[in-house]
Each structure stands twice: as structure tokens, then as C-alpha cells.
Structure 1
Amino acid sequence: MSIRRRSVLGGIAALPALGALASCGSSGSGDTTEITYGYIPDFNGASLLAIAEEQGLWEEHGLDAKLQSFTNGPLQIQALGTGDLDFGYIGPGAMWLPASGQAKVVTINGVGQADRVIAQPGIESIEDLAGKQVAIPEGTSGDMIVQLALKEAGMSLADIEKVAMDPATVVSAFSSGQVDAAGIWYPMIDNIKAQVPDLVELAQNSDFADVMQFPNVMVTGAKYPEENEETTLKVLRVLRAAMDFRAENLDQTIELTATMIEGDQEAVAGDADNGEYFTAAELDALIEDGTVETWLDSMNEYFEENGNIDGEADAPSDFFTFDLFTEAGE
């Protein structure tokens, strides 16, 4: 079970040794193009790649993909920026990075529904958190949902005692009663419930569906699509095929993902239950009617308001390769 899937700030010092990857960049070998692809070892971060591996999609589309596991999204953005990685995966908390020009989004992978504001028994509302200790993994979707919930209640971080913690520490601190509440996500909440079965869920993603979605995405370097358009299209064809397979074969996808990341299948299934996943055609429609752009505009506003981005965020059309995703399906 991953405890890091939405972490976007921790572990910068733990950047993997990527020297070996540098030699595996996007150099073609005959009709096969080599790429490096980063992922986070959980359902969202690995499921499409697990399908591509098992179904032979890389080979089918003339690609030789070298996969590299990372602990979080910003490490992948860093590797994309240095050219040590060609493609990768980030969660919603790291979306400010492409919105500030540091990467390009090539597709939405899914929409998260796993985040919660949880509280100790006896706390009944967000308003009850005033003056209380709230554990928050900074820069994650757990951070985002706490701030959204506070805003809806007419409050801000100044009204609570924010305690910054990494996700694993949140689990132990809440379970032992060291904090009053937390912004965290499933399946980690299942671990907490084993110790605090009567915890209270004060807010969840769906409460804010009209103002904010929590998309996780596939990314590439800021200049990569322009300089490597055909390779980008090949990768998008793989991802589109894998999206359709995942939508039609979720149970099998859970098995493939658990095998790939050497994870517990039940935990991976719980991870998958807390996401919404689209077929390629469904995503085409969401792009066409402007829904995806609305999601990204809302996230931009959030990141601007919270100081993640200095100045104005880039427009979604500047950092999402909408046209290439659609073209890959033609």
C-alpha cells in the first residue's frame, strides 16, 4: 500500500540516481524509440503502465519504455527538466508545476475521490476545528481539501493550529490522539480506522465538486512535445489504449498493478475504489466541452490564492497538449 501517492513536497533529497537513465533518453533505435517513464507505485500512478507492459502496447506502438519508480511528483518534474526523464505522473497537489511552465500535461489519468478531513470522535464540524491541532501533509491534496473545507466554513488556516507532517506521521499521530484532525486520504484512512474506528469524516472531495476536481495527470518536459511530437503521439496512443482496457477490465488492472508494484492486491483495490477513470473517448468529450479546462482553471485559482505560483498561472491551453491527445485517437 502506498503512503506517498499525493505527497508533492517531501523527499527532494531522495532523488533517485538517474545517471543510468540519461543514456536511455528518446533516442530512436531503428523503428523503436526508447523513452524513460516515471511513476509512483500505487494504482493511479502505475495502472496504465502496468497495462501497457502486460498487453505489449509499448512494442505495438514502436516504443521501448524504461520505467522508473519515484516517491512523488516534483521529483519527476525535476528529472523532466534535466532531461533524465521523458514522461511521468503527478497527483493534484503538484499541478502548480505545469501551471507555472515547468512541464506539460499530456493527459488526465483520473480524478481522485479519496481525500478527507477527518477528526477525533466528538468533533462534529469544520467550525469545531477552531484552535485545534490539524495534521496536514503540506502541498498535497490533503492540504488542499483542508483549505477548501475551511474556506467553505468561512475560516482559514489562521483559525486552526496547523501541524505539518508527512503522510506516514499523520497516520501515527492521529491514531495515538496527538492531533485533533487531519487532511489525509484513503487507503491510509483505513489504517487509522483500525485504531480509531469511530473517527469522524468532516469533508470529502465530492463536497467541492462544483468548485474543484482533483485530477492526477501524465506529464512530460516543457519543450518535449514540440521537439518530439511523433514520440509524444506514440505514447498517447499507448495511454489511450490502456485507458480503455482499464475501464473495461478494472479487476484485471488491479491484479496487474499489484504485481508490477509488488503491492497488496486488496490495498490496490481500495486505492482504485477512490478514483474516477475515463475511457479515451470520454476524455475526448470532456476536453471538447471544456470540462477539463474548467477543472484546470479552478486549480490555477487555488494555487494562485495559496502562493504556490508567483504571479498568474499559465492558461491550461499553454500547458496541456489537448490537440495531441485528440490527434492520437484519430
Structure 2
Amino acid sequence: MKFLRLAKRAVSSLALLAALPLAQAEPLKIGYSDWPGWVAWEIGIQKGWFAEEGVEVDFQWMDYVASMDAYAAGLLDAVTMTNGDALVTGGTGKPSVGIIINDFSNGNDMIVAAPGIDSLADLKGKKIGLEEGFVIHLLLMKGAEAAGIDPSEFTIVNTPTNETPQVLASGAVDAIGAWQPNSGQALKTVANSKPVLTSADVPGVIYDLLCVDPESLEKRRGDWMKVVKVWYRIVDFIKDEDNLDEALEILSARVAITPEEYEPFFAGTYILSLEEVLPIWKKAKGLKSVYGSTVISDEFNVSMGVYDEPLKTEQYLDPSLTKEYAKSVK
């Protein structure tokens, strides 16, 4: 009889446990910032596509450098970064794995010169304000290389990117390096200023990624796959011209400007479709591959003393979720 009572009690306990709701996984915490290829996540947020896919995501809006600092401090599961800046974060503290290539910069990153300066060569012996050691600095170096200019002929003034428009307007420097919206603000603030180099001149030098904590990726791969699915739903939405007005309304609202002001940013940010991104995920040398581009960024970071030794750059990239998703939709 005692055995029966114990058995009945065990069955009752199991029934009670079965009736309790399953514990909810913590939301995936993602830091994102003001870059058109990353503001695009707002479409999935506003349309409720993450909930539809069955993953809870907490997108946290912050300044770019602050988002990398928050990731390095362990406050985020993932952050939006360029491939080069992901190495900076990893080489100086906390590594990550890029699982999505959102876009490549196609003109939004610029060296903007003061009036009267018409080319990169005109900046020899002059001051350029930019965030030293960051990707905009790499753009300047690669642009100088292409133009046959010794980069040591420039005087770099280390300047936070969000302060570059004011610094150019003050006359303290002859040019600045910045990305949208700061580059556009500099052009607007300083009459007759002009871009003398843009990322469209060096395509592939800057890829923009979603970079995930390796531990989170290992533990919650299924949830990150759902994020990948939502991303390509966003891309399909943006690529459909019938959705342009709605997309601009959503994106411009996030950064508090008008849709008309936001529209030109699309031209300077090439958001990659699934078909377009697959060749970029192939391992190869040079800027047409994210692997080759990241090696170039690594060499730059070491040369700038950002960290001492070259990194194992392949460990910072994982195309497997994108490739798995591509197979599923064939």
C-alpha cells in the first residue's frame, strides 16, 4: 500500500509539473546603432516578425562605440559592428562571431574636406580629424594607397566620430573622416565642403555585420537561426520597391529625421540579398570576400598598435547559419 501511495504521489507531482508553463528563455540582447544597414532591423521590430518567428529579442539602441563597449562588458549577446571593428573588440577584450553580413558601405563612409580642397592629394601636410584606429582610418589608408600617396603625409587628429562635423566647422582641421549620419551632417554644416574619398571608391573595405557572443551562439543556435530568417525577410521587404515608402517611414522615425532626408542613405549603403551575400562568404583574398577584407583589417589594426599580434580572423566569421538558411529556401 505504501508503494502505491508513493507511486500516486509521484504521478500527481509529474502532472503538476506538466501543467506549469515552461520557463521562457531570456531575450537575446542586441546592441544596434545609427547606420542604415543596422537601422534596417527596425522593420522586423516594428512589424513583429521576431515574435512571429518565435524568438524574443531585446534590441538596444545606442551610439556605435558605446554599443561595442557594452558588448565587451558582457551586457549584450550580440552587437552590430564592421568586420574590422569586430577585430578591435576581440583583440582588446571580447571576441565575437559574425553570422550575418548586413551590407557593405557604398559611399556613406567619407573623407569630407573643407572648401578649397578638391582631392585627397590636396590633404598632404594637412590635418584630418577622425577616430584613429577605426574603420574610417582604414578607408583613408586604402584610399591613399590607391592614389599613390604616403599616408604619413597626413596629420591625423584623433576625433570622436560624432564630433567631426563641429570640428570641421571650427576650422581646427582641414578634413574629417566619418560615416552617415555624421558625414552628411558635416557636408550640410560646412558650406562648399565635399567628399574627396568615399567607401564607394574602395568597395569591400567595410562590411557591416551582426556579431554574436560565441557562447550565446553555441547555446542558442536555434534562436539565432530565427534571427537570420527575420533578417532576410527584412531584406526582401526593402528590396521590393512597392515597400519603399513604408520602409523609409519606419527607418527615418528611428533616427528622428524625415523619410525624404533618409532616402539618400540607401544609395550609400548596399544591403545584400541572400543571393548576393553567398559569394562574399566564400574564403578568398581581397576585398570581394569578407575573409579577405577582414585579413586586411587585421593587418591595419596590428600596424596601428591596436593589438600586438595578428588574430585568427576566420574565427570571427561563421557563414553556416546563412548557408543553412539558403539551403532551406531553395
Give me the TM-score of the superposition, normalised by structure 1: 0.78
Alignment of 1:1-330 (within 5 A): 34-48=27-41, 50-73=42-65, 75-91=66-82, 94-97=85-88, 100=91, 102-113=95-106, 114-209=108-203, 212-248=204-240, 249-288=243-282, 291-316=289-314, 318-329=315-326, 330=328
2-structure distance, mates of 1:203, 1:76: 27
SS across alignment from 2:312: coil
- For 1:254, what is the secondary structure of its paired residue? helix
Contact 2:84 2:294 in 1 (8 A): no
**Taking structure 1 as reference, are residues 161 and 232 closer, same or farther at Cα in structure 2, changes over 3 Å only?**
same
Q: 1:98 to 1:141 in 2, by over 3 A?
A: closer
Q: Which moved more, 1:225-234 or 1:88-97?
A: 88-97
User: Is the 2:283–2:292 Cα contact (8 Å) retained in structure 1?
Assistant: no
The 8 Å contact of residues 282 and 291 in structure 2, kept in 1 or not, is answered as no
Q: What residue ranges of structure 2 are gaps of 5+ in the alignment?
A: 1-20
Which has the larger Rg?
2
Mark the CA change 1:164 to 1:279 in structure 2 (over 3 Å): closer, same or farther. same
Note the alpha carbon deviations across 1:207-226, whole angstroms, 9 max, x for none: 223xx421111111132212
Per the TM alignment, residue 38 of structure 1 is displaced from its structure 2 partner at its CA by 1.5
User: In 2, Cα distance between the equivalents of 1:133 and 1:292?
Assistant: 31
1:226-248 Cα shifts (integer Å, max 9, x gaps): 22221221221222222222222
Residue 161 to residue 322, structure 1, CA distance change in 2 (3 Å):
same
Aligned residues: 298
One-letter amino acid of the counterpart of residue 87, structure 2:
W
Listed one character per residue, the Cα deviations across residues 99-129 of structure 1 (whole Å, up to 9, x for unaligned) are: 6461111111111121222323333433332
CA distance change for structure 1 residues 118 and 35 in 2, over 3 Å: closer, same or farther? closer
Cα deviation code 1:15-37 (max 9, x no counterpart): xxxxxxxxxxxxx9567763222
Matching residue's letter, 2:46: E
Moved more, 79-88 or 267-276: 79-88
**Counterpart residue type for residue 322 of structure 2:** F
Deviations 1:286-311 (A, max 9, x none): 32575332333333333333333321
**Which 5+ residue runs of structure 1 have no aligned equivalent?**
1-27
Q: TM-score, normalised by structure 2?
A: 0.78
Which has the higher mean CA deviation after the structures are superposed, 195-204 or 109-118? 195-204
Which one has a larger percent helix, Structure 1 or Structure 2? 2
